[in-house]
Structure 1
């Protein structure tokens, strides 16, 4: 899809999202969103986030560590932690906890990232193979500007998925990040696409394309692959390995993660 068309859709989606958020209590009444009987669905290890929200009354924690190399610089970061809480049917709030980026080799910077709260709503009344959600959030200027960038950083995100059948599925995501305080780049659009295969009842593998396209400057493009394994219905371990596809991208990123979910924290979740 041409980059200008992606940007046009994102601008149009910004206006629609205001209507979706206002209409959410009335629309999100179908019983098609996850419940405590559902398996854990995480926003990791791929960059593409899950199109599903966490069940109402459930608290989900997703954590990971990475090591990366870009030219002569080698870094690690962790923990990449996200907390997600289902507050209503098809609706969750989430927060990205600041992670720490450390230098292992070279002249790369080090420090903490931003805390980033958000709200996520899943569209319930879609045909069964499809899932779609919208997330609106912002990175708050709590971390090191060398790591996280300057100022407030709002974002708008649309993760989707489609079940092909036979254990195969596709998913993707379009995100627009806004950087009002950055004089060099005010906006970046990220597009992802995933092909996933469930190889056993507990294990799955994926391949993913990730492209970050700033309004000014060169793009960052990655090929990412990895998988996850369900220890239980509410616990998952995962791994991923990414390679840069152009000179502006990291040489590689390697990561491991662990996620868990606690259910039925609200009395209303059992009604």
Structure 2
């Protein structure tokens, strides 16, 4: 109950922070092609950074999960991102297909979900914050994706703690106007991340989904990423449900790459 009331207040505070910070944002605080790839995976918490201007980034992965006695494979979990201006990107989640390997569950695809992401970064490289506004378009399987247009509002943030440690988090509100039971679902994540050498990092993460009605889904997620080059990354993660409403487990692998200086 506390989380359900706290999340809208936090979102309001972040919106106020955006308003007061906007006049002081400078382009030199935005990512450039000189920076290493920063992805929205493998943790649920998305990066607080946008892709550099003129760069295209493709993030992909597959998962094996078990939920309510059914084993499910899904992929390719693809997100395409394009930097269109300093601290500004457009992105789209392309349909992800769920296939039931055993047990009883729904098979089908998710919606196409375009969005725009603006990096605020009140204190660049120390406290970074972004605002994401997107909407799922009714292109997928209704039993998987739901019905109708479904907008969302999201705030990914990160706080550098020093010594290679960082605290990351994200608050999201998903709106489903045609869902009579739950028109709004809020999600809160917290992730503690540690750099390992120059090319890798690991994390442990809490994920909570809170519907208007019904039981919340709570998970503990952990994993890591390794940068093969400045613009290529492989990753893995393993998540476990903390209550009966959540999946029993989710195991995933991924590969991401970035192409710079397109314009």
Work out the CA distance in 1 between the residues paired with 2:107 and 2:173.
25
- Partners of 2:257 and 2:85 in 1: CA distance: 19
CA distance in 2, matches of 1:83, 1:2: 31
TM-score (ref. length: structure 1): 0.92
Query: Unaligned stretches of 5+ in structure 1?
Result: 267-271
Equivalent of 1:238 in 229, 232, 235: 235
Query: Is residue 2:121 matched to residue 1:118?
Result: no
CA RMSD, aligned part only?
1.8
Q: Is the 8 A contact 2:43 2:222 kept in 1?
A: yes
TM superposition shift of 1:203: 1.2
Aligned to 2:4: 3
1:269 alignment partner in structure 2: none
Q: Which residue of 2 aligns with 1:250?
A: 247
**Unaligned runs of at least 5 residues, structure 2:** none
State the distance in 1 between where 2:188 and 2:116 align.
20
2: CA distance between counterparts of 1:128 and 1:191?
A: 22
Range with bigger deviation, 160-169 or 79-88: 160-169
User: Is 1:207 aligned to 2:177, yes or no?
Assistant: no
The DSSP-based 3-state class of the residue aligned with 1:265 is: coil
Q: Give me the whole-angstrom Cα distance separating, in 2, the residues matched to 1:185 and 1:238.
A: 33
Distance in 1, matches of 2:55 and 2:93, equals 17
Normalising by structure 2, what TM-score? 0.94
**1:33 shift after superposition:** 1.0
Shift of 1:39: 0.2
User: Cα deviation per residue 1:238-269 (whole Å; 9 max; x = unaligned)?
Assistant: 00000000010000000000000000000xxx
Number of residue pairs aligned between Structure 1 and Structure 2: 261
CA offsets per residue over residues 72-110 of structure 1, 9 Å max, x none?
Answer: 101010000000000000000000000110010011110
Q: 1:241 to 1:65 in 2, by over 3 A?
A: same
After TM superposition, list the pairs within 5 Å mapping 1:124-143 onto structure 2.
124-126=121-123, 128-143=125-140
Residue 171, structure 1, aligned to residue 168, structure 2: yes
Shift of 1:127: 5.3
Give the Cα separation in 1 of the matches to 2:39 and 2:166: 15
Is the 8 Å Cα contact of residues 122 and 128 (structure 2) preserved in structure 1? no
Q: How does 1:1-271 map to 2 (within 5 A)?
A: 2-10=3-11, 12=12, 28-126=25-123, 128-266=125-263
Contact 2:115/2:132, CA 8 A, preserved across alignment: yes
CA distance in 2, matches of 1:13, 1:141: 31
Contact 1:36 1:58 in 2 (8 A): yes
Structure 2: distance between partners of 1:86 and 1:29 = 16
Q: 1:176 to 1:14 in 2, by over 3 A?
A: farther
